[in-house]
Chains A and B, each alone.
Chain A
Amino acid sequence: MSDIFSLVLNFIVNIFIEIIAIFIMIFSAIKNLIASKKVGKVNVDINQKIKYKKIINDNKKLKILFIVNIILLIIIIFLLVLFILKIQTEERFLIFTILIIMTIVCAINYYVSNKIFKEEIIIKALNEISPDLVYNHNKGISEADYRFADFEKYDRFKSEDLISGNILNNSFIISDVLTYNTENVYKHRGHYRKKVFSGAVAKVNLKKDIQSFIYIINNKLRLFDSKYKIIIDNESFNKKYNVYSDNEILTMRILTPAVTSLILDMETKTGVPFELKIYKNVIYFRFYTKNLFQLGLTANSSAKNLAYSLEIINCIQAIMKELLQIISDVEV
């Protein structure tokens, strides 16, 4: 009797454990889904978007190129379908040749549109937010500058779309950065290139050395050495960010309630995770986003991308200004 009882009890306990495991799995799947929806969600100001769309539409050349691009894409899709349908016939070689030519024309068209977008439109749009910002499509943040922040291990570095200027007389730059690391496959049978970071990096030089580091990381990203972890007196900030430093007093002096609320504001506005590092005499900002100033397929999507990128720059500038003011007042 007792055997049957223990068997039944064992069965119930096992079922219970299984149900809990299933619930945990479902819960974590939903949590991940919500997190993935939240990361990279772009909140673009409609008025800004309309303003930048007008700048794009005012450029007649670009407007025509956008139309040509869409027509070319429609032709390419049509030819592709036709190629699949006529794969058994003699006409397939002719269709294939036209398809290749059209793809090349489309690529050239995109290249020219991108050049106009970067050389004319972005400069005009940047002038709207701050006339002293200078844009250079071919330049990027230098590798030495990036390496100094010691963000991660990498062996390939690429940077472009450099914007430079001044914030409260401190030099400021922001650019797109892409880093890769070569990793070995099992037992050194080969290697592959793994993308380590892709996004925007901003940097401001300080006029004084804080002789410490302060590292703020969105907790969706990664963790740092827990012995340096610092709890800030803002609960909603602690829920979203982890703060690490080797100087707790200095961190509390710099991360005032005004700075923490600006950082939370930026999260709401841009919806992308980021890292902020104050290291010696430099402030770094790293945004896990798509490329800044990406040309879209239409004027509408390009204006949206532009509004988004400029919103990020605006937010970074606001936080940098507040930080610079605090650090200049702080005697180290």
Chain B
Amino acid sequence: MWYILIIILIIVIIWFVYVLNRFIYLKKRIERSKSVIDVFLKERFDLIPNLVESCKGYLNYEKETLSKIVELRTDFAKNNNQKSGEKLNKYYKELIGIFENYPELKANETILNLQKQLEKLESEIAAARRIYVNDITSYNTLVRKIPSNLVAKIFKYQEINYPILETEEIKIKF
């Protein structure tokens, strides 16, 4: 009789360890996916001065947008101001939209190279965001699901809110 109880206990312990490891693994994955997005955003952020510099000669009528981007980027880099970051994103999108009105930009090789780099980055950011949301979904499912929610309660694993992402993907076209 006792051996049955011992077997059941061993099974419960194995399951418990498995679920706990799964929580640890998913938490690490979420952290990793988030840092991957940050790396790509940083790359995009670093490309902005080059982009602004290369476009200066062509975008005579958009000088205000360009100077605003430079200003916001400097503020964000110095003070890590989140509001500046959000505004920078908004102006960056505006700048990409403006590009379509200037077909002469196509002739500049530096701008074309920048365009390729940006295209790659935007697509990588979108993919990294999908992975991040996917990881959060897997984690939240485990937190809510019975019986793994028991382990979540014991070890205080709580649901993670989905990030507020840019709703529209930035399409780079010159």
A residues touching B (Cβ–Cβ < 8 Å)?
6, 9-10, 13, 231-233, 248-253, 329-332
Distance of A10 Cα from B1 Cα, bound (Å): 7
Write 13 A-B pairs (CB below 8 A) sorted by A numbering: A9-B1, A232-B134, A233-B130, A250-B127, A252-B127, A252-B128, A252-B130, A253-B123, A253-B124, A329-B119, A330-B120, A331-B116, A331-B119
Counting CB contacts under 8 A, is B138 at the interface? Answer: yes
* Partner of A330 from B4, B36, B123, B128 at Cβ < 8 Å: B123
Q: Are A331 and B120 in contact (CB under 8 A)?
A: yes
- The tally of residues in B whose CB lies under 8 Å from a CB in A reads 18
Distance of A332 Cα from B116 Cα, bound (Å): 10
Distance of A133 Cα from B138 Cα, bound (Å): 44
A249: chain B residues within 8 A (beta carbon): 36, 124, 127-128, 131
Count of inter-chain pairs, beta carbons less than 8 A: 37
B residues touching A (Cβ–Cβ < 8 Å)?
1, 4, 36, 116-117, 119-120, 123-124, 126-128, 130-131, 133-134, 137-138
Closest to B4 in A: A13
Nearest-Cβ distance from residue A95 to partner chain B, whole angstroms: 68
Closest to A257 in B: B130
Interface SS of A by simple majority: helix
Q: Are B131 and A252 in contact (CB under 8 A)?
A: yes
**New A-B pairs, 13, CB < 8 Å, besides A249-B124, A249-B128:** A6-B1, A10-B1, A231-B134, A231-B138, A233-B134, A248-B131, A249-B127, A249-B131, A252-B131, A329-B119, A329-B123, A331-B117, A331-B120
Closest to A232 in B: B134
Closest to B117 in A: A331
A231: chain B residues within 8 A (beta carbon): 134, 138
Closest to B125 in A: A249
Distance of A234 Cα from B44 Cα, bound (Å): 28
Q: Are B138 and A331 in contact (CB under 8 A)?
A: no
Distance of A13 Cα from B116 Cα, bound (Å): 68
Distance of A252 Cα from B134 Cα, bound (Å): 11
